[in-house]
């Protein structure tokens, strides 16, 4: 909790205010132990706060790739109403869509704010292309594409075609098979982000993906009586 409080205080101090604009020094305070008063943060604590508010390559790649990963999950859930036989499959698809559609919006907002928007000049990765290959973003030069084809859990074009062609019980079984694999891939990506990422918000996103999609994997396996 102390680290989170220091993070909040650091963000507030970095945000500025009337006193700061007036030239007054505003010390950042580190919370003390229970019953103890706060004290000025050390240089090491301030450096840790600053680092947690900046992103690295792992953060960028995780968010960029996870947007595409979520988008394929929504393509799969869109097929359910006209093809599924079991009511439980419809409920699973509704939960997945209700969770992942807003998450895509949050991730795209993070990219705009931290990579492609006003913060771009302070971004170490400002020359990466956007999800649209760079169109619509002023990168100030050449940009580097991010490969989405090797993401774990992604269904192939052939698998997506098979899912679209299936109906009834065949569809239900294939949907669960592909979506379980898809969710397992997302969990793998999120676990890698926790190891290599730095930005506090992105790390929280990854934790949420692990928690939510692990639960859904269990629910989907129960539908077809799997362990």
Query: Mean pLDDT per 10-residue run, the chain (227 residues)?
Result: 44 44 49 56 55 78 92 97 95 96 94 72 46 42 58 94 97 97 97 96 96 95 75
Instruction: Determine the pLDDT at residue 123.
Output: 46
Instruction: Determine the pLDDT at residue 224.
Output: 73
Q: Under CATH, to which class is 54-223 assigned?
A: mainly alpha
Residues 6+ apart with CB under 8 A from 46: 10, 28
Instruction: Determine the pLDDT at residue 135.
Output: 42
Q: What is the pTM of this model?
A: 0.70
d(CA 29, CA 40): 4
Neighbour tally for 154: CB within 10 Å: 20
Domain ranges within the chain, ordered by starting residue: 2-50, 54-223
Structure tokens belonging to residue 78: 């869109």
- Strand segments, DSSP code E, in the chain are 29-30, 39-40
Neighbour tally for 173: CB within 10 Å: 16
| Cβ proximity of 111 and 130 under 8 Å | yes
């Amino acid at each position: 909790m102390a680290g989170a409080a220091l993070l909040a205080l650091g963000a507030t101090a970095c945000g500025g205010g009337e006193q700061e604009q007036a030239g007054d020094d505003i010390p950042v305070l580190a919370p003390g132990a229970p019953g103890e008063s706060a004290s000025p943060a050390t240089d090491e604590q301030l450096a840790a706060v600053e680092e947690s508010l900046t992103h690295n390559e792992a953060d960028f790649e995780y968010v960029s790739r996870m947007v595409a990963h979520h988008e394929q999950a929504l393509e799969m859930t869109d097929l359910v109403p006209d093809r599924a036989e079991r009511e439980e499959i419809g409920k699973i698809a509704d939960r997945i869509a209700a969770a992942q559609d807003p998450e895509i919006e949050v991730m795209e907002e993070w990219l705009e704010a931290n990579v492609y928007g006003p913060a771009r000049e302070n971004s170490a990765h400002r020359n990466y292309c956007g999800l649209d290959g760079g169109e619509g973003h002023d990168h100030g030069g050449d940009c580097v594409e991010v490969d989405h084809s090797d993401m774990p859990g992604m269904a192939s074009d052939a698998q997506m075609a098979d899912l679209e062609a299936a109906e009834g019980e065949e569809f239900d079984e294939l949907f669960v098979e592909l979506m379980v694999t898809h969710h397992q891939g997302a969990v793998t990506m999120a676990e890698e982000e926790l190891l290599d990422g730095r930005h506090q918000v992105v790390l929280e996103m990854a934790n949420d993906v692990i928690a939510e999609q692990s639960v859904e994997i269990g629910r989907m396996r129960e539908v077809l009586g799997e362990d």
